Every structure is written in structure tokens, then in C-alpha cells.
Amino acid sequence: MRDSLLGSIMTVAIATAAVGVIISVSVAPISAQAPAAAVLKTPWGEPDLQGIWTDETETPLQRPAKYANQEFFTEAQRAELNKARLDMLSRDRRSERGTEADVSGAYNTEFLSVKRVGARTSLIVAPATGRIPSLTPAAQKIGAAERDFRLAMLQSTETCKNKEPACSGGKYDPKPSPRRAEPAPRYVTGRFNRHDGPEDVSLAERCLTGGLPEFGTNFGGSFRRIVQTPGGISMFYDVGQGQGWQRNIVMNGSPHLPSNIRQWWGDSRGHWEGNTLVVDVTNFSPKTDFQGSRENLHLVERWTRTGPDTLAYQVTIEDPAVWVQSWTVRQEFNRQSDGTTVLCFLAVCYRNGSSSNMKPSFMASLVAGSGPRPSAKARSSTRAAFINPAKP
């Protein structure tokens, strides 16, 4: 399990290039907010976004109710939250020893990314509430159907018998549910209590996690490497516990793929608006899921280099079948050293030992700095944010 975590916090990437077009976004463009500075350019004259980038602070996706009227934390609030995070690092919170909840608890704080608190109270910048918009009636209906089905599968388990939170709204019955043989309301992406075949288990258990939009995870952090060539851009992601994946952004002005062609990470078509890369993403697979949105998910991303070591990212998210309005997220990324950061896309599952012979020697050498490139050490996002107290 530690080896799996180690795989998730490193990176090795091989670039491929592709091509693509697009559309503009309805909120104020990032480029208008960027400080006036010399724009870094590639040898062929495009704005240079290349490098390994990560968000070195942590900001909740949605604004907590406690800070409902605050867009930014005060310095005192950030200090208080950072102290609580530091205290958490040494905690090993467990349920009563030997109970089912204790045995099934696989992770303690050694496996979590604990970073400094960011300046804003939410990644969501529109709507002004900092919250995901309300669901449409249709989305509420499918959500309720999935919840009822999941509770039916749980009714004869210890989870419901012990009235644990996962069974909230359900009831205990020692007999299996009469719905046991029913198909799920729609393609299964989350966990529920049936394992009659591989598609009964969650995407995470099938190592199918990772997708767009990508805002990071508590397990292993979140890195992306941008590689540009004349006419093409590739982005390589390292998230979670080794879930490395790649997307190619088509830059040749061609239209999106036909609507009957669906892809796990959608179809990305990009163009330049001044110094900002604008990417329109559609054609998602109905087997993916982001906050309840599937094949109708539509993203408009804006990537703007704001300094030698900073990159602003903004994405507007919409699906009229799921939310009553579109919403926008903003992140600020910091460039990581190419000489000391290695990204490894290992795609290792707990029941998949395909890379077990490689991990002890190769990965350990990266941690020790004695691998094929001694200056390159595996960089962990778990505690990196607290290592250098001089960082703001």
C-alpha cells in the first residue's frame, strides 16, 4: 500500500502531440486579471505553458457554511486551520479495535496530502455563493433512484444494523433485499453492496478514477505536465494513487468529434485568445461521472501563464440536465522543478502486482536520490507544503 502511494506522488511522462478548436467562456477571462509582465514564448511564438504544475495550497471545492459571506480567509483563520492540519499529521484515528469499521479502514494520515490552506474559501468563484448550483428536477430524480437502490443493497448488512451514516435513510432487515437481482438505475460508478460482476463495483475499484475536470485529491496530490509542440498540446496528469493519464488537445481548428463518439476524458479542442489557451471539452462517455453529470458535461477551460512559476486555471462547467446554471472554478498552480520532480504513471491497483518487481528498486532509488538521475527525487505533496516555512 505504501508502494502504491509512492507511485502516486512521482511522475515520468512521454510526450505525444495532437491538434484542435474552440469557444469562449461566460465569466471574466483570467488573462484580463494577470499582472503585466513579459510573456514567456515557445521557440515557434506561442505562449509557453510548459512544465510540471500543482496547486501547493488546499482550498475546498465548495465554500463551507461557516464562511458563507467570505470569499477569502483572514490571516488568523488560515493560521488556525493550518495548525489543525499540522496536528492531524500525527493522528491515527481508528474505530474500536477489531470492529468491522476498524478492519475496513485502510488509511491513516500517512496516506493523505496535507497542504497549507489557500487564500480563498472555495475553488468555486461563480456563482458568488461559492457553492455548486441546485440540481434540476431530473437530476434529483435519478439521484434519489440511485440512493434508494444503494440502500436496498445495504439493508441486510452490519452497516444498517449498526445505523452507520452510510445507511442514513435506510433500514435494517436480516433478509437480502428483493431488489437484489435488479439492474442498477444507470451505469454503476460508485460503490454499492453487490459484486456479481466487475461492473457492479465502483470506478475507483476498477482503477478507472481520474477525469475532467480535475481538482486534486487527498490521496497523493495532483500534478499535471504540459508539453507543447507546433500545432499540438498534451497534458499528463498524476493524481490519487498512481492514476496517471494523458489528454491531447486538438489545435487545428477542426470541429468536435461526432456525437456518437464518446471518450473517457472527452474531446478537447483548443485555440489561443491572446496569451490564454482556451479549451472546449465535450463528448464525454456516459460511463464517467462528475458530480452527477455524465455524457452531457461541457467544460470551457482557460489556461494563462501569470509568471515564470505561476499558472492560472479557470474552468466553467455546465450540464443543463443536471444543474440549473453553469458554475466556474479557479485554481492557481505553481511550477515544479524539472530537475527534482519525476512523474511516474504506474496505474497500480491493490490486486494488480504487475509492477511489483519494479517498484522496490526503482521507486526506492528515486526516494533516496540514487536513481538513473540522482538529482531527481520523488516529490511528495503530502508534507511538502509544510517543509518550507518561508513559503507564504
pLDDT in tens, the chain (392 residues): 334 333 333 333 333 333 333 223 334 455 444 444 678 999 999 999 999 999 999 999 999 999 998 999 999 999 999 988 887 766 666 667 777 667 766 666 666 667 889 999 999 999 999 999 999 999 999 999 999 999 999 999 999 999 999 999 999 999 999 999 999 999 999 988 998 999 999 988 888 877 899 998 766 678 999 999 999 999 999 887 667 889 999 999 999 999 999 999 999 999 999 999 999 999 999 999 999 999 999 999 999 999 999 999 999 999 999 999 999 999 999 999 877 666 654 444 333 333 333 334 434 444 444 444 444 444 433 333 333 333 44
CA distance 312 to 356: 37
> Taking the mean position of all CA atoms in its chain, how far away is CA 196?
29
CA distance 208 to 358: 22
Q: What are phi and psi of 249, to 5 degrees?
A: -105, 115
Amino acid at 2: R
Contact (CB, 8 A) for 222 and 236: no
Distance set, CA 181 to CA 177, 227, 277 (Å): 9, 48, 48
pLDDT at 344: 57
- Residue-wise pLDDT for 6-65, tens only, equals 333 333 333 333 333 322 333 445 544 444 467 899 999 999 999 999 999 999 999 999
pLDDT at 281: 98
Contact (CB, 8 A) for 376 and 7: no
Q: Length of the chain, please?
A: 392
> Taking the mean position of all CA atoms in its chain, how far away is CA 231?
27
CA distance 317 to 213: 8
CB proximity list for 317: less than 8 A, separation 6 or greater? 213, 290, 293, 297, 298, 299, 323, 326, 327, 328, 329
Amino acid at 79: A
Amino acid at 345: F
Instruction: Please give the grid coordinates belonging to residue 317.
Output: 462547467
CA distance 340 to 380: 11
- Output Rg (C-alpha) for the chain, integer angstroms: 22
CA distance 167 to 269: 42
CA distance 170 to 151: 6
Which pTM value belongs to this model?
A: 0.78
Q: Cis peptide leading into 213, omega within 30 of 0?
A: yes
